[in-house]
Structure 1
Amino acid sequence: MVDDHDANLLALEAILEPLGQRLVRASSGPEALRWLLREDFALILLDVQMPGMDGFETARLVRQRQRTRYTPIIFLTAHSRDESHLVHGYTMGAADYVVKPFNPDVLRWKVEAFVALYRQQQRLQAQEAALWERERHILERQSERRFRRLVDSMPQLVWALLVDGTVSYVNRGWLEYAGLTPEQARRSQENQRFMHPDDLPHVQEAWLKSLRTEQPLQAEYRLRRARDGEYRWFLGRTLPERDEEGQLVGWIATATDIHDARRAVEVLKAASEAKDMFLTMAAHELRTPLQAARSYAHLAKVKAGAGMDPGLDKALRGIHRTVNRMASLVENLLDVGRLQQGELHLAQGEMDVSLLLREVVEHFQPLLESHRIDMDAPESLVLRADRERLEQVFTNLVSNALRYSPGGGAVRLTAREESGLVHVEVADQGLGIPPSQLEHIFERFSRAHGISYGGLGLGLAISRGIVERHGGRIWAESSGHEGEGSTFHVVLPKG
């Protein structure tokens, strides 16, 4: 009730008191607006003629607020029912007009009707809220049932845990695997007795750490299957579950059967080790007869003397070349075995990289026909390393550069010092390396261009092992386009 005259407010209060409603009095528009900021009202009785902010201005401000935009307003006015006056009032948001002096019963009936309408709206809103709440519960139950059906159909074993680690739910996969009832599976001790005794301590320690730090857990462990007592390997993951504010509300744990995959890896590993052992043993067995063949070829050449038949000389040189190539392959196999077993030892000493590169270039000079080897290296580029092994690395790189440049062209060796490091580049203009192969060319038996260009695919693997044993790095860059070639980088510490 808004009126600037206390007598009018008292009269309104007396008329409306029989309705049993809470009546709030305001003596001005601003005071009415302050009440409307604090509470909701079923109806506003608003006097039009008030000093300062009149009823029309007060109604306009009431309608501007979202909260009171639809609150009914009855204007109380002493004016006649002038049509323009009424239109202005309705434009300002009036729901009705009462002209002074008014019939108390008529006013009471009007107010009672608006209050009844307000109460009906409240009941409808309450019913709507109740329906929404009921629908939400139904949807939540349906969602939970769908979630449980989904989790039960998963091949993984699943646990839901409370914040302290207490088991609140397990899926059907774990119940069937362990042969437990849902009640038994909620007891931690029942779950723990299925874990292999050798795995339980480290898993418990990791789990306690996760509880303290609220961080995820991942571990491999064995779980006993109830139907046959077999222990199978699982990959276990436990992830924290958080609410919208980031607070920990629980944990979700899963276990994925990796037993067959693990066994397959073990079989492959054993096969690989057996292969490596066979290659090493075969290389050792071949080493002696190859050395003997090399000696016999040399002895035959010496005995034949200067008057050797040209055909025989060519044959002996062919034998010598073939034996040397086979001996090199055997040494590569032995070096791979040494690297695999960590037995490749370095004899380190002071050496000049520039001098070493010149010797490597000189070694290939007699073999060059359509190729050219250029070198750019400063004098006295000294570092501490195994000279023989680095010679093996750079010989491999230059040999590959020549082999994979069938159209000829230049091979360029560049060496420089960079912040206490020695950086050597070997660049060619050959076939290049497909981008998909750049990460694999340093693996054993890997050949970017297949078997077309010979070799066992061991040279780069050995080179990487030697460089890394020196504390350095080796890598390749190539666009993969023929004619643009490849560049191999070797970076070694000077000390």
Structure 2
Amino acid sequence: MWEELPVASILLVDDHPANLVALEAALEPLGQRLVRARSGAEALRCIAEEDFAAILLDVQMPELDGYQTARLIKSQERSRHVPVLFLTAIHRDERQVLRGYALGAVDYLLKPLDADVLRAKVAVFVELYQRQEQLRRREARLREQERELLVRQGEANARITLQAMPQAVWATRTDDDQAWCNPAWEQLMPGQKKSGPRESFLEAVHPDERAAVEAGWREALRTGHPWEAQHRMGTPEGWRWYRLRVTPLPHTGTRYPGFICTATDIDDERRGHQVSQLLSHASVVLSSSLDFHATLARLAQLVVPRFADWCAVDVLTEEQAEARLCRVAVAHVDSGKAERVLELHQRFPPLQGGPFGVGRVLDSGSPELLVDVPDSLLRRMAPEPEHAALLREVGCQSCIHVPMRARERTFGVITFAISGARHRYDARDLALAEELGRRAAVAMDNALLYLEAQRAQRVAQEANRLKDEFLATLSHELRTPLTSILGWTQMLLKRDDLDEAGQRRGLMIIERNARAQRQLVEDLLDVARITSGKLVMDLKEVALREVAEAALESVRPTAEMRGVQLQAELEALSENVFADATRLQQVLWNLLSNAIKFTDRGGCVRLSARRRESLVELAVRDTGKGIPRELLPHVFERFRQGEIGREHGGLGLGLAIVRHLVELHGGSVEVVSDGPGSGATFTVCLPLRASRQEPFTGPEPVVRVPGFAEAKGRLLVSDEPGSVAAALQGPALH
């Protein structure tokens, strides 16, 4: 077989361009590649980049002469055996010739050169180089053929071994469209031949997982690392779980010639592991929170899609002494269809013969398994065509209903359903569903018992905390004025050097502290009366403006002393209200006093009024410290004070008294604040009476105290103080 000879490279080294041209002209008929170099350094660079068949080297060159260049060429492993021919125009000297041969030269030629002689000598070295290159190529081909033969023999031996293996094996090469599989793989894929198209490997994989498997084997071929995953394989009549492992074949060069895939049946092992794992996770979920609605919702999310395509949880509740099912959780593989399941529940209430036998399971307390839900059952559960279409849309090919029972009590029903044909529930699934229902019932029962105990404990702890806090605050608030009164009393009794001004100042301090202490006692008595339902309300028509002005005058000295500007906008206030004037003034006094107390010097407190339909609104606005957002819902509760409130003293009873007094008048009070530093606005709404002559035709007012014991009985209207309590029917309000 004829083989084309390789082209050889010849290096021409001379510092004169004319000599290089002459050398090229002489050697051009050889048809080889001629490379120029005009110095020894350039020649060394060329030698480092490629191999040469011969080197023609001029002896006389600047910097590196021919002898030095030859010494460097022979010192390198790559160019040690390359023939070197010295060229010189100097008279032939025996010593120079011997020196050249000593450096490894194969010839020593004098210029001018005979072109034919030069060409003949170089042709010998070119032919020698070409023959050596041919030999190297043939040796490489032989080694490759031997390696391929060994590989094929190894593959043949491996096939014999794999055919005897019980594990399914698939093998393919990237340079061949055909693939091979052992008998175990043929059993996995009935009708599959031992040799078939490489793409038929994916036919054994579940359609939903083929893209992942293909990406895995391509990644293995790209990186050379084995790829392993668990996927379903088989036929549409029965999918089973297998552990797939793709191992690339040993590569040659930069490519991997193919891969081997093994498939190990792990369906039973996986099922047992999944059941154990699902029950373990369900126990964690059911014990993670005392809010059983949230835990049941998380349980439904947990089982979808591990055990069901959709799941619904219905819990028994008692409404007006009637037991009803309330759907507390729905989960679906398609989140949009969860709403359709809720719609299905609303259209077919379970206790009225609803879908899927939930009502029957609840009545009997026994689980129910429907392996297949035929169209006849769908028509019975949903007589109207659109209802049956809804059931088909949600999907119910096979379903299980299990009651949630614990301690002889049924808490509800859990429904598990499969919408596709990939699986049918069996007895093993029913046992798992029953266990899930039992654990859910135990968790729900424990949560209800714990919540009840925890609620009672919180009530007791809160009452104890409020009691301790109130007693500490009360002792401090009572001791403060007493200390001042006692101190000034002793000073007035024991010191004779006090002048009249000092004595007067001491008496004023004693009076002010005594009034403060009396106010504390009055607040305590008012709370006690409200709690026991014995608060006296002398209701009659009063001029609201007079009450507001009296409240303003009572707090004006305090405002002036603290440097707070007090403003009023009462021009539009001319109506009468049906109220107890003293208690109503107490409401406004408390609100104005609070506003002044929490407003810094230079601030402003404004009392305004406006009429709104049959109500009048009294608003107390201040530019003070404001109320934190987290405290706003609790400002009208007893003993509730923020950090700012504790700094200014008080028992935390004033606003609670305000709320109850306003509600006893048939009105309401609310507060608005944007937070610390933004002030606060308290608004009191009261019903109006247009004039004293207008007869009162409304319903008899009933006194109710939200948050306290209800004060039962009828409160009559009288213009004579003291006549109200005598006219009460039922328990008296004192």
TM-score (norm 2): 0.34
Larger CA Rg, structure 1 vs 2? 2
TM-score (norm 1): 0.49
> Higher RCO, 1 or 2 (CA under 8 Å, sep at least 6)?
1
